[in-house]
Chain A
Amino acid sequence: MAFSQDEVLAGLAEIVNDETGIATASVQLDKSFTDDLDIDSISMMTIVVNAEDKFGVKIPDEEVKNLITVGDAVSFIVSAQG
């Protein structure tokens, strides 16, 4: 069963909160992981593998650098569900 965009955003917000303590409400589509949420590359890698587990997708390492905003990550995950 594919996850909707809202479900992916909510799930991603939980992962970000679990890893960094950032409030789930702050994790919004237009927010930049580094500039707005102050998430560093180490936390980002952990968030990526947890997202892979949660949504059953594969996010290649070379793709991670393109995931600038939360919206980029949500879009990638939604489309990668196939």
Chain B
Amino acid sequence: MSSTNPKPSTAVLDHDKVADQASTYVAKFERHETPLQRFKKFLHHYPIAAPLIVLLLAVISFSVIVGDRFLHPFNLSLVLQQVTIIGVIGVAQTLIILTAGIDLSVGAIMVLTSVVMGRMAVNHGIDPSLSILIGIGVGALAGFINGLLITRLKIPPFIATLGSWNVFFALNLWYSKSETIRSQDISNIAPLLQWTGQTIDFFGARLTYGSLLMLGIFFLIWYALNWTAWGRHVYATGDDPEAAKLAGIRTTRILMSVYVLAGVVCAIGAWVLIGRIGSVSPQAGTMTNLDSITAVVIGGCSLFGGRGSIYGTLIGALVVGVFRNGLALAGVDVLWQEFTVGILIISAVAIDQWIRRGTA
């Protein structure tokens, strides 16, 4: 660009000007859309559609296989009660997965806080409502510790919570002395702990206060994620943390708030758990970890963060609940329930990958 172009500035202007007259035609490929491709596009456009279809198919197949017992109002309310715990813990898991993290310790936080609530109220004679608050405080502290490990020590969430899962579970066994607090003792001394298990008639259906509490939590978190700046920041942090930082978001604070909030939600889940099983057992809710991740993933959340919705998790939790209940009613061994949940989680991610491929 030296001798031939004495005034390169103008020469270059000319060559760029040509671009203005360039055709706007962009290469187009002939579209031969098969019904399958159209279906794929539909699923991509409505992420909530896939879990809804799975739920519908599950309900239909189980009512065919099991018969009337499955659709019986008593059974459906049982499903809802089972779903309540997965749903509440699923909310906590959704928050964390949205930030591209994962929390393996949610189940352990729930059991630990249920033991704290139970022992505070029953063994130490502390006021039940105060006991619940202390339990929530312990949940927040557990989440805070997870958050510190991930944001300060920069330990990947999977490893950090794998470690804390073991620590929290061991603390739970130590503090509970591996003893179960009996249901009668709780109803005598601290009936408030079992309040979440009480049923109310709601237009003919029997709902527990726990289920209503779960719906309340879903609504609150939905609001926070979709209608507050904090929610936008959670999505942005999970989507691209560097970009979020450059846009002025304090991603460390966002992550800390998410882990603490998840801990609090797990503690509320503990209260629901006590209501559900009546007693306080250090061995309860061992399946909740996997089930919560399954619910979130079936609900359409991306494990890579930034994509997904909270109501997807509600549907995902219903899918898990329906499968577990339907299989149990069909007389299938518990081990096959685990088998099915495993298949569900793999299929959900496989379908998600398939939907994303080529339709982006």
* Chain B binds chain A: no
Residues of B within 8 A of A (CB): none
